[in-house]
Amino acid sequence: MPSPVDSSLLCGNCPNAGTHRCSRCHNARYCSATCQRADWPLHAKICISFASLPARPGPNFKRALLFRANSPRPRFIWLEHRGSNYNPKLEDWIPCGTGCIDINCYRRLNRRLSNMINLTFDENFLGTYTTPNWSIAGIVGPQYAGRWRGDFIAQGFEGRWQTEHIVARDLDTMALGPIEDCLRFRSQNSMVEYCLPDDVEGEDMT
C-alpha cells in the first residue's frame, strides 16, 4: 500500500521531514544535525560505499545492497535484471537465493515505506555449516551472529507479488534503517511478523 508521503523524503532518524542531506554521500536525509549524529553509527556502514559506487552500467541495472557473510559491512552493487521488467539476476551474487523477507515499513519510526525492500538469502542458512553473516551482525549486534547465515542481498521494488505488477527500484542509504530494524526485531521475536501495529491481524501473538 503506497504511503501518502514519499518515505524517502523523511528524516532517517525521526518522523520529521528530511530537509538536510549527508555531505559525504548527498543521499541520506535528516531533519537536523542531532538526528544525523544519532544515525551516524549505522549510516557510516554504507555512506562511503554509496558515494563511491560507479555509474549505472546500463538501464537494466538497479542499485542493491549486498551483505556478504564474511564482510564487516554491506556494500552497494548494481544488480542486473533480464530485460526492463522485474527479473533480477540474483544468481550473479547469491547462488542459493531461495528464502526471502519483504519489508514494507520502518517499525521503529512507525513509517510505511513507499517502496518495498526484499531480502533474499539461502533459506537453508540455519545449517551450522554456513558462515554467520558478519555484515549483518555488525549492524544488529554480535549476539545475533548465529541467527543470520550466508550471503544476503537487499533490493527495492514497488508493487505486490500477488498482482504481478512489480517494478524494480534502486535502493539507497535510507534502506539500511528498516533493514536493521527488521533483522533486529526478527532476531528477538522469531514468531512475530515485522509490520506496523495497525497491520497486525488475527490473534495476538505476544
Q: How far is the CB of 146 from Zn ion (least distance, A)?
A: 30
| Residue (27 or 71) nearer to Zn ion, CB | 27
What is the secondary structure of 111-169 as a DSSP string? EEEEEEEEEEE-TTTTSTTSPB-HHHHHHH-GGGTTTSBS-EEEEEEES-GGG---EEE
13 in contact with Zn ion (CB under 5 A): yes
The distance of closest approach from Cβ of residue 181 to Zn ion in the complex, given in angstroms and rounded to an integer, is 15
Looking at the Cβ atoms of 76 and 125, the one nearer to Zn ion is: 76
Closest separation in Å from C-beta 23 to Zn ion: 8
Shortest gap between Cβ of 28 and Zn ion (angstroms)? 5
CB atoms within 10 A of CB 189: 12
Q: Which CB, 52 or 188, lies closer to Zn ion?
A: 52
User: Per CB under 5 A, which region of 15-23, 124-132, 153-161, 177-185 contacts Zn ion?
Assistant: 15-23
Tell me the closest approach of the beta carbon of residue 30 to Zn ion, in angstroms.
5
Nearer to Zn ion, 48 or 101 (CB): 48
Identify the H or E element spanning 82: none
Q: Which stretch binds Zn ion (CB under 5 A): 14-22, 52-60, 108-116, 188-196?
A: 14-22
Please tell me the distance from the alpha carbon of residue 13 to that of residue 104, in angstroms, as a whole number.
17
Q: How many CA atoms lie within 13 A of 139 on its CB side?
A: 31
C-alpha 42/C-alpha 133 separation (Å) is 17
Site for Zn ion in 16-55 (CB under 5 A): 16, 22, 24-25, 28, 31, 35, 47
Contact between 117 and Zn ion per CB under 5 A: no
Q: Which residues of 82-102 are buried (b: 16+ CB within 10 A; e: fewer)?
A: eeeebebebeebbebbeeebe
Kindly state the smallest distance separating residue 194's Cβ from Zn ion, in Å.
Answer: 22
- The three-class DSSP label of residue 78 is strand
Tell me the window of 7-15, 85-93, 111-119, 198-206 that interacts with Zn ion (CB under 5 A): 7-15
- The secondary structure of the chain in percent helix, strand, coil, rounded to multiples of 5, reads 30, 25, 45
Residues near Zn ion (CB under 5 A) are: 11, 13-14, 16, 22, 24-25, 28, 31, 35, 47
